[in-house]
Amino acid sequence: MTAVATPAAAGATASVRRPGRGRLGGAGKGRGPKVPLRPSQRRNRRRTVLSALAFLSPWIIGFLVFTAWPIGYSLYLSLTDYDIINAPTFVGLENYVRLAGDPNVQLALGNTVVFTLLQVPLYVTLSFALALLLDKAGRSMGFFRTAFFLPRMTPPVAVGVLVLLLLNGQDGLLNTALGWFGIDGPNWTTDSAWIKPGLVLMSLWTVGGSVLILLAALRGVPRELLDAAKMDGAGFFRRTWHVTMPMVSGPLFFLVVVNTIDGLQTFTEAYTAYFGSTGGYGNDAALFYAIYLFQQAFQFFNMGYASALAWLLFLVVLAITGVQLLVSRRVVYYEADR
Amino acid sequence: MAGAAGAAGAAGAGAGPGAAAAAPGLAKPPRRDRRARTLVARVLVLGALGLVTLLFVYPFVWLVSASFKPRGDVFDNRLIPATATLQNYVTVWQEAPVALWLLNTVIVTVLSAGTVTLSSALVAWGFSYFQFRGRGLLFGLVLATMMLPGAVTMIPTYLIWDSLGLVNTQVPLWAGGLFGSAFYVFLLRQFFLGMPREIFEAARVDGAGNWSIFWRMALPLCKPAVVLTLLFEVQAAWTNLMGPLIYLRDEELFTIPLGLKILLDRFVGSGNFQWEVVVTASVITTLPMVLLFFLGQRYFVDGVAASPGGGK
């Protein structure tokens, strides 16, 4: 391993540091009773704040211009009719009313949720299984880690092309392989019922990044616990279920949340494979929410309506992540809670 | 840390139970049937891993191989083309300004990786070195922006670039990097916090200013994290499709992912199926990333394991 510090290691170092002492004396919480500052100290403190602000200024400007203002303006736009050419006209909640009755919104939202519900459990389960396997690889682990991560380097647009090629109903590699076992594979790329499973399957190819995260977590599971369980006669699967899983439930849960947020915003692979860049619809089964939003905003220039769509997406992401956080309180085990 | 990982690795490699409790080197040799059983387990594990690796690597090999096949042979699923030809590469080169697209992509990628790494490092240093009131709150805000779906800010951001007359230029694709990115700020801050503070205080006593402490000490010391940030951003910028799709109109400004998408529409979407052209363009799009990976794999693989989000 290189000198790459894990977040835990870096955090530990941070907490050891004495707060707010010395030349840079700042407003640390660990300070003793309030003593009036000498003028030179006050000057120092002001200088610290100014220096810090200088270093932070790129982010502060970026936050104001590219996050805070867009959030506010997007909210405003969602209450207007705006086609870029003419000035926005205020229409109140009209966009939201339209959105509630738009069959394409229901379609796209349904597609996206179904895709995410299929993808996330499979993705996380597969990551965990592969990480467990990799954990047992011994000295050849380095080679396999590298091999597993390689697909993550493929540009998503090329993954979209691969979807069309490998999952092709007639002569695609997948169905050819299924044919060896006497299975007549479905038309993954054209049959509406199979398009989403096909995209999920293809997404599993890029599971390597999550495997590496879980592998790092597995190395942190105390061996004494596993050995004790073994002494008590627990087999591999019971040890995994009762010891390893709870010990890595934090990272597992983290992957569930991150993948859910990503899944709800799926765009490139599905867009590449199923939609022409010159407008028009591809297959309805691949119309994901981010694609519909993109079309409304940048192909039809319904900026107001698209902003309302963006806020609905935000609410959906927030609601689902919130539910997951609530559930995690019961399921996830944190070392610090002991 | 490296020592612990190594020991765990050796224990995982099939030493019997109890071996890990003692120091691995001093373990008693396991009984013979145990040894046989661990050998079988080992073969099974390596076999399974080999199979998965094959599944992971095969599509690449298939794609590269298909790019050398003449029209009509693309789907024959042979690994070694029955007749190999370079014609597809010639065709792609003639059909589309691929060299220009590659150059565009390199420019955008270098600019965004350079700017975002430098600005994120500045901000991360500001959050890790200086202590001031409200620091925790401000950093919480940085983390919160990571949760916001890109769709919410996408349209107003487009309008900003539009009002500056910069739509249909490559500026919007990299200039956001000037202001740092929450993910990299978080990543780099972890590294800065892990450094011994005393050396910076010593430099200060010797008369070094804020900037030279950052530029001449902190940044070189956290080279692995800087390289990791560069690699992550190179990958993100190179593979980005949505940005170019939104901001670029003229074909001579396209980056290679957008070019590939256009070729896909032209040669497959339109109904005249010329898969070999699209396959070859896919190889051209992907190969630089694979090359980059082999150059930086040590940083990538270790860094992903240590970073939140796995380089997303």
Give the tens place of pLDDT for each residue, B23-47. Answer: 455 555 555 677 777 888 889 999 9
Most confident of A118-122, A184-188, A236-240, A250-254: A118-122
User: So what's the pLDDT on residue B286?
Assistant: 95
Is residue A135 predicted with pLDDT exceeding 70? yes
Angle between helices A141-149 and B275-306 (to 10 degrees): 130
User: So what's the pLDDT on residue A282?
Assistant: 66
Q: Which of B9, B133, B176 sits opposite A27 (nearest CB)?
A: B133
Residue with token string 């700020």: B185
User: So what's the pLDDT on residue B311?
Assistant: 54
Is residue A33 predicted with pLDDT exceeding 80? no
- Chain B positions in Cβ-Cβ contact with residue A223 (cut-off 8 Å): 8, 11, 20-21
Q: Which of residues 43-82 of B touch A (CB under 8 A)?
A: 45-46, 48-49, 52-53, 55-57, 59-60, 62-63, 66, 74-77
Name the residue among B211, B131, B128 with its Cα closest to residue A23: B131
Is residue A295 predicted with pLDDT exceeding 60? yes
User: So what's the pLDDT on residue A13?
Assistant: 39
Q: Which of residues 74-133 of A touch B (CB under 8 A)?
A: 74, 77, 84, 130, 133
DSSP assignment string, A34-103: --PPPHHHHHHHHHHHHHHHHHHHHHHHHHIIIIIHHHHHHHHHTTEE--SSSPPEE-TTHHHHHHHH-H
Report the predicted TM-score, pTM, of the whole model to 2 decimal places: 0.85
- DSSP 8-state class, residue B31: P
d(CA B29, CA B17): 11
* Total number of residues shown for chain A: 338
Q: Which of A59, A216, A317 sits opposite B123 (nearest CB)?
A: A59
Using the beta-carbon criterion (under 8 Å), do B302 and A2 form an inter-chain contact? yes
Please tell me which residue of chain A has the smallest CA distance to B149. A314
Per-residue tokens: B278: 């699209």
User: So what's the pLDDT on residue B299?
Assistant: 87
Q: Is the ipTM of this complex over 0.90?
A: no
Q: Which of residues 78-107 of B touch A (CB under 8 A)?
A: none
Q: Which of B13, B292, B310 sits opposite A139 (nearest CB)?
A: B13
- Average pLDDT for residues A275-294, to the nearest whole number? 80
Residue with token string 């990791």: B228
Q: Which of residues 158-197 of B touch A (CB under 8 A)?
A: 158-160, 162, 176, 178-180, 185, 190-191, 193-194, 197
User: So what's the pLDDT on residue A34?
Assistant: 65
- Percent over 90 (pLDDT), chain A: 59
Q: What's the pLDDT band for A39 if we cut at 50, 70, 90?
A: confident
Low-confidence ranges of chain B (pLDDT < 50): 1-23
Is the CATH code 2.40.10.170 the one for domain B95-306?
no
- Interface check B303 vs A, CB under 8 A: yes
The residues, any chain, with a CB within 8 Å of residue B27's CB and separated by 6 or more, are: B15, B16, B18, B19
d(CA A142, CA B278): 33
- Interface check B126 vs A, CB under 8 A: yes
User: So what's the pLDDT on residue A12?
Assistant: 38
Other Cβ atoms within 10 Å of B290 Cβ, number: 16
Task: Identify from B34, B44, B132 which residue to disrupt to test chain A contact, counting A C-beta atoms within 10 A and taking the largest count.
Answer: B132
Q: Which of B130, B190, B241 sits opposite A5 (nearest CB)?
A: B190
Q: Which of residues 237-296 of B touch A (CB under 8 A)?
A: 238-239, 241-242, 245-246, 257, 260-262, 264-265, 268-269, 275, 278-279, 282, 285-286, 289-290, 292-293
- Interface check A209 vs B, CB under 8 A: yes
Quick one: CA dihedral B87, B92, B93, B99, positive or negative? negative
Q: B82 or A64: whose pLDDT is higher?
A: A64
Give me the phi and psi of A81, to 5 degrees please.
Answer: -105, 120
- Interface check A28 vs B, CB under 8 A: yes
Please tell me which residue of chain A has the smallest CA distance to B172. A66
Q: Which of B41, B75, B141 sits opposite A171 (nearest CB)?
A: B75
Using the beta-carbon criterion (under 8 Å), do B5 and A1 form an inter-chain contact? yes
Boundaries of every domain in chain B: 95-306
Per the DSSP assignment, residues forming a β-bridge with A89 are A81
- Average pLDDT for residues A156-168, to the nearest whole number? 93
Q: B162 or A20: whose pLDDT is higher?
A: B162
Query: Å from B94 to nearest chain A CA?
Result: 21
Using the beta-carbon criterion (under 8 Å), do A62 and B180 form an inter-chain contact? yes
Is residue A280 predicted with pLDDT exceeding 70? no
- Chain A positions in Cβ-Cβ contact with residue B278 (cut-off 8 Å): 161
The residues, any chain, with a CB within 8 Å of residue A111's CB and separated by 6 or more, are: A196, A285, A286, A287, A288, A289
Is residue A150 predicted with pLDDT exceeding 80? yes
Q: Which of A149, A156, A298 sits opposite B304 (nearest CB)?
A: A149
Query: Å from B42 to nearest chain A CA?
Result: 8
Q: Which of B130, B260, B297 sits opposite A158 (nearest CB)?
A: B260
Please tell me which residue of chain B has the smallest CA distance to A84. B159
User: So what's the pLDDT on residue B5?
Assistant: 39
- Mean pLDDT score across all residues of chain A: 86
Quick one: CA dihedral B233, B237, B240, B244, positive or negative? positive
d(CA A153, CA B169): 26
Question: Which of A19-23, A32-36, B2-6, B303-307 bottoms out in mean pLDDT, i.e. has the lowest?
Answer: B2-6
- Average pLDDT for residues A194-200, to the nearest whole number? 95
d(CA A52, CA B134): 12
Using the beta-carbon criterion (under 8 Å), do A150 and B162 form an inter-chain contact? no
Residue B174's Cβ-count burial label (10 Å; 0-12, 13-18, 19+) is buried
Buried b (16+ CB within 10 A) or exposed e, B194-204: bbebeebeebb
Query: Å from B43 to nearest chain A CA?
Result: 10
